[in-house]
Chains A and B, each alone.
Chain A
């Protein structure tokens, strides 16, 4: 009687062992199929040229009371010349949902057309849904040349 039970026990042990081996094999197999697929879906990081400063142009070419979008690496930056001639630059990416802002002359504000967000000319969010102010960039005048550089 006892021997029978032992044999059955040993059998079960063998069977369990096989079950674990097969189970682990299956999991490993599934993982080896899924892993490359999921990795494939993730876009690779592309090396970007780190831009720290750009040259925009001559001060005389920038009209008073205007705003222009300039290319800063692969990001848009808005350069504003206020009615009294002051230069100011901000990231043109609205802090709400990623649209590109514009200078609204009649209201004297920076405006995002997507959800009617407004910023004042210091980049502060003053109306609408934007949760944060625009990131400020530095404007540097070298003689007549206007440069924009990243805030440090």
Chain B
């Protein structure tokens, strides 16, 4: 048995030099310091993405992406297909946990300022994946074609439409016409299961390659990091990673079983928007801000201003490695920390307001 296995390994090693790879992995270390716990959220995000790919493919076996059949096909999955309710609820819950985990990952990287030289590209690919994750959420939300999704999509795409000059063509491109109809559903379905996964996989490949190539980032002002040394990635860190993945899977199962995802009422273009309508929680802080904007600020429409401000803030955030020069030089930069704290507090307060109001 053992010789057989050795022979097999030798067969591969002769063709693809595996030993180099094993040696490389053997030299992979994870720094141990008070912030080490944050390293896990990248892995958790990856795990949740894998769950989404698997459950997404399973849902594709029964889902029908059309105005007449979408809602009915999900009803069929939830009620007739064996364990269909489980797969769909896991997909919905994992989507939410994925966004949460990605946000935690992003903020921990931000506060550790791990985006600094030489990891600017890792940060940029990460931010693009975060935007894509929100795109996944927004497009996937419409696919059950229920009332909430219908109006959320109307509002979301209309927001794109208020942008000056490019707004209207972008809105028509997204909706597949002037209004949210079955054409919108077809487009969103395509984005959700083909365009976004393709882009995401490429970005994820670059992101992971860079993490392997450059190793884990260490906290700024390295003296407090080296005192607790390092931990080998294989097997110490990987086993911890896997244990956490197992816990996440259990949490998912518990959520899916005890809090199955609702289907809601089928979308009707000739019904009023139901009371209490609100977007997914990760859009709430933006939604709430728009609610507070007056209709008109000087000559500009309130929402145009709001959207432009959010766009600008997003861009500034994304390009932080390029304007935060101090961190790249290894100095501490209080401004960045204050900006980060402000953003976290803003998001939390406005999300809560969005829930309560």
Contact = CB atoms under 8 A, between A and B. Distances in A.
Interface stretch (B79-87, B91-99, B111-119, B287-295): B287-295
B154 A43 contact: no
Contacts of A46: 177
Given A42-B172, A125-B295, A113 B158 contact: no
Given A43-B177, A43-B183, A69-B271, A115 B291 contact: yes
Interface in B279-321: 287, 290-291, 293-296, 301-303
A102 B273 contact: yes
Interface in A32-73: 41-43, 46, 69-71
B303 A116 contact: no
Interface stretch (A3-11, A23-31, A93-101, A135-143): A93-101
Contacts of B179: 74
A100 B147 CA distance: 11
Given A46-B177, A69-B270, A114 B295 contact: no
Contacts of B274: 113
A129 B173 contact: no
Of A46, A115, A128, A130, chain B has the most CB atoms within 10 Å of the CB of A115
Ranked 6 nearest A-B pairs via Cβ? A102-B272, A98-B158, A99-B273, A113-B273, A131-B295, A97-B158
What interface size band does chain B fall in?
20 to 34
B151 A114 contact: yes
B187 to A, nearest CB: 9
Given A76-B269, A129-B295, A114 B173 contact: no
Contact of A101 (B173, B272, B277): B272
Contact of B151 (A74, A76, A96, A99): A99
Interface of A: 41-43, 46, 69-71, 74, 76, 78, 92, 96-102, 112-116, 125, 128-131
B276 A113 contact: yes
A98 B155 contact: yes
A71 B270 contact: yes
Q: Chain A CB within 10 Å — which of B269, B272, B287 has the most?
A: B272
B277 A113 contact: yes
Given A92-B272, A98-B158, A99-B155, A131 B277 contact: no
Nearest to A44: B177
B176 interface: yes
A71 B295 CA distance: 28
Contacts of B296: 131
Contacts of B154: 97-99
B244 interface: no
Contacts of B173: 41-43
A73 B89 CA distance: 37
Contacts, number: 75
Interface of A is mostly: loop
Contacts of A102: 272-273
Interface string B135-157: 00000000000000001001100
A118 B270 CA distance: 19
A113 B278 CA distance: 9
Nearest to B180: A98
Given A42-B172, A43-B176, A74-B179, 17 more contacts: A69-B271, A69-B272, A71-B270, A76-B269, A92-B272, A96-B295, A98-B155, A98-B158, A102-B272, A112-B273, A113-B277, A114-B151, A129-B293, A129-B294, A130-B295, A131-B301, A131-B302
24 contacts: A41-B173, A43-B175, A43-B183, A76-B270, A78-B272, A92-B272, A96-B295, A96-B303, A97-B158, A97-B303, A98-B158, A99-B154, A99-B155, A99-B277, A100-B270, A100-B271, A100-B273, A102-B272, A113-B273, A114-B151, A129-B290, A129-B291, A129-B302, A130-B295
B275 interface: yes
Nearest to B181: A74
B199 to A, nearest CB: 16
A97 B293 contact: no
Most B CB within 10 A of own CB, among A113, A128, A130: A113
B59 interface: no
A115 B172 CA distance: 22
Contacts of A115: 155, 287, 290-291
Contacts of B273: 99-102, 112-114
B62 to A, nearest CB: 28
Identify which of B183, B273, B276, B277 gathers the most chain A CB atoms within 10 Å of its CB: B273
Given A113-B273, A131-B302, A43 B172 contact: yes
B159 interface: yes
Contacts of A131: 295-296, 301-302
